[in-house]
Structure 1
């Protein structure tokens, strides 16, 4: 597994802090490197990696001590390593999310209309992918489902399991995805997943009324190292929008806390899912 994207974010943060400490503007740094200011912006936003030659020049410009220089050069080398298992699926992965998720220690996920990807069964995931586009090929559907199942392995990692806090609206339990048997199996899988020590699954019931972010899914990723700031993601048909600013991310945290307060507790959530399974079964 490669942590290249997370490490690139860490390096970008340190380089930005060093530049600010020296009182230099991005334009001045760009002139020093004989590069465009846009290049410096992308490096400091972790949108592109920095070459080792440029990194050494910047560390000289920022007058860092020998210990810091060695540490950041080592960080720069590791940040440039190629990606992990997801590299083979770049054609079906439009953004950096899977890389970030692979290195996260805690995921907070709110979904108002479908089961979170980390908790989907293969058949449910297949139905979701098929519904996303009429033009998608059978081969791409299977590749997307494979990626989704690969991501879920983190939940069952005995040494370093991913912690997942999932909030789903009650509507998710009733929204049909595929055939009835698919939905039945998916609901049963939710109950099994909820029994995992590292998974917290809670349902926002209809009688909770309107709550923060209602209808707008989002994810918050938290990392083991405190130097790696949280990231929030909102996704829709147009694309992915990432939030890195601490104040913006704190707003997502506040919404998630409030939504958790008005949700059913874990036991009551499982009870509701079981009741839904029974209701679906008796309607056949």
Structure 2
């Protein structure tokens, strides 16, 4: 969990403790407040110490139980502010993958330059429909989310129209391990690699491959995307992190630049992709 997120959660916890202590009816102990709310006392403690994220309902109940219902709007606004940085997959995928793809379509449409690092799968900006279909099905199974695979695939394919608009630049770096990852049947992976071979040299795509034997100054960690130096989106198993402070965005650009030093481009990138493609017998 990001430091900024945790700090904001702790600050919200201090505000909750303040409301309990300054209750108009007199100071409440944690046990007394828990009894009023019908909660375990441990929940009160976790919320006040920033070890659990409250819901809007929790905050409204807290404000009411401490005799200060008018502050519920303030508390919910605080929660919304820091939760915008961490978007759990559980919440995002409650209605399936299509809404997430629609959100990304809007983000990308508003951007002119994308700096992306991919260490596990081919970027959605260059996926074939069959490759995307396999990825969505695997994640839907893992997260136990609604199966709307075909709608999600269509939305992802629509996003790729961005590549054909003047003035756009996709600056994509991929770890060579991505090319080898059997996250789909052999024939689907072979077609995906053919797609990558076809975009090398495309005017709006600057594709670099970091070879497996390249000397690295950093480990090939989480995938991320920096959109126009205004937002960095980092993907993890439990959530996407949306980070918009200048210092953090600058950090992710430095990471991208560091991987770029180890990458090969143009004909050399094609050679790496072609070598992997030849290994796949279909």
Residue 7 of structure 2 aligns with which residue?
none
Residue matched to 1:93: 99
Q: SS at 2:264's partner residue? A: coil
* Alignment match, 1:262: 262
Matches within 5 A, 1:1-284: 37=74, 92-94=98-100, 96-134=103-141, 135-136=144-145, 138=147, 140-157=148-165, 160=166, 162-212=168-218, 214-222=220-228, 230-281=230-281
TM-score by length of 2: 0.63
**Deviation of residue 43 (structure 1)?**
9.7
- Whether contact under 8 Å (2:133, 2:153) holds in the other structure is yes
Aligned equivalents of 1:202 and 1:137: distance in 2? 35
How far off is 1:254 after superposition? 0.6
* Structure number with bigger Rg: 2
Q: 1:143 to 1:36 in 2, by over 3 A?
A: same
What whole-Å deviation, never above 9, does each CA across 1:207-263 have from its counterpart, x for those lacking one?
Answer: 1244435221110000xxxxxx52101112311111111011100011111110111
Q: Moved runs in structure 1, 4+ residues, more than 4 A?
A: 34-45
Q: Deviations over 1:9-57 (max 9, x none)?
A: xxxxxxxxxxxxxxxxxxxxxxxxx995568769999x6xxxxxxxxxx
Distance 1:211 1:142 in 2: 40
User: CA–CA distance in 2 between the matches of 1:100 and 1:258?
Assistant: 25
Residues 196, 123 of structure 1: alpha-carbon distance in 2 compared, 3 angstrom cutoff: same
SS in 2 for 1:257: helix
Cα distance change, pair 213–219 in 1 and its aligned pair in 2 (3 A): farther
- Paired residues of 2:211 and 2:272 also in contact (CA < 8 A): no
- Residues 132 and 42 of structure 1, relative CA distance in 2, 3 Å threshold: closer
Post-superposition offset of 1:102: 1.3
Quickly say closer, same or farther: Cα 1:195–1:90, change in 2 above 3 A.
Answer: same
* Matched positions, count: 199
Report the TM-score, using the length of structure 1 for normalisation: 0.63
Compute the RMSD of aligned alpha carbons.
Answer: 2.8
C-alpha separation in 2, matches of 1:189 and 1:102 = 22
- Contact 1:107–1:163, Cα closer than 8 Å, also in 2: yes
Alpha-carbon shift at residue 202 of structure 1 (Å): 0.7
1:105 and 1:156 map into 2 onto residues whose CA distance is 12
Question: Corresponding residue for 1:14?
Answer: none
Q: Given that residues 113 and 215 in structure 1 are in contact (C-alpha distance below 8 angstroms), is that contact kept between their aligned partners in structure 2?
A: no
User: 1:247 and 1:215 mapped to 2: Cα distance?
Assistant: 19
8 A Cα contact 2:116 2:226, kept in partner:
yes
